[in-house]
Structure 1
Amino acid sequence: MIQRILTYFEKYSFGVCAYLGERFSVSISKIRLFFIYSSFLAVGFPLVFYFLAAFVLDIRTYIKRIRTRTWDF
């Protein structure tokens, strides 16, 4: 049961930790732990950053998709 939940979040989460991990060459699990621990210490401020980053990444992929459709003639 727990493995199914973890697999669901791995596949369908926003991808912020994966993007940051690839960008800065850091383990994804370390970035996730950083967000978890810092959200307890900073009373949720990292969660605000996480959701903003997820929003920006979602818009970025949407713009890339539109841009490729525009130039595919």
Structure 2
Amino acid sequence: MQKIREFLELNAFGVCAKIGEKLGIASSRIRLWFIYISFLTLGSPVILYMILAFWINIKNYILAGKRNPLRNW
């Protein structure tokens, strides 16, 4: 069980950790609430999670001084 948890924490997008940093809440508590809400709403928060993951990825990409992927459009 510990290996699965470590794999998910290292390979996930870090959305819950980023929200936890901003709000000062433990990321494990945010993950738990995300799971609860996903079950209650039949998985619709997954869409929000993917949007936030995309946003964080683009933000980190731009702030790191790398080439802007949006300029190719």
**Separation (CA, whole Å) in 2 of partners of 1:7 and 1:22:** 19
Q: 1:1-73 maps to which residues of 2 (within 5 A)?
A: 2-66=1-65
TM-score, structure 2 length as denominator?
0.83
**Separation (CA, whole Å) in 1 of partners of 2:6 and 2:42:** 27
**Separation (CA, whole Å) in 1 of partners of 2:19 and 2:46:** 15
**Separation (CA, whole Å) in 2 of partners of 1:7 and 1:13:** 10
Query: Partner of 1:44: helix, strand, or coil?
Result: coil
TM-score, structure 1 length as denominator?
0.83
Unaligned runs of 5+ in 2: 67-73
Larger Cα-atom Rg? 1
Q: Higher relative CO (CA 8 A, sep ≥ 6), structure 1 or 2?
A: 1
- How many residues matched? 66
Unaligned runs of 5+ in 1: 68-73
**Separation (CA, whole Å) in 1 of partners of 2:4 and 2:25:** 24
**Separation (CA, whole Å) in 1 of partners of 2:29 and 2:3:** 21
| Cα deviation, residue 17, structure 1 | 0.4
| Cα deviation, residue 25, structure 1 | 0.5
| Letter matched to residue 35 of structure 1 | F
| Cα deviation, residue 27, structure 1 | 1.2
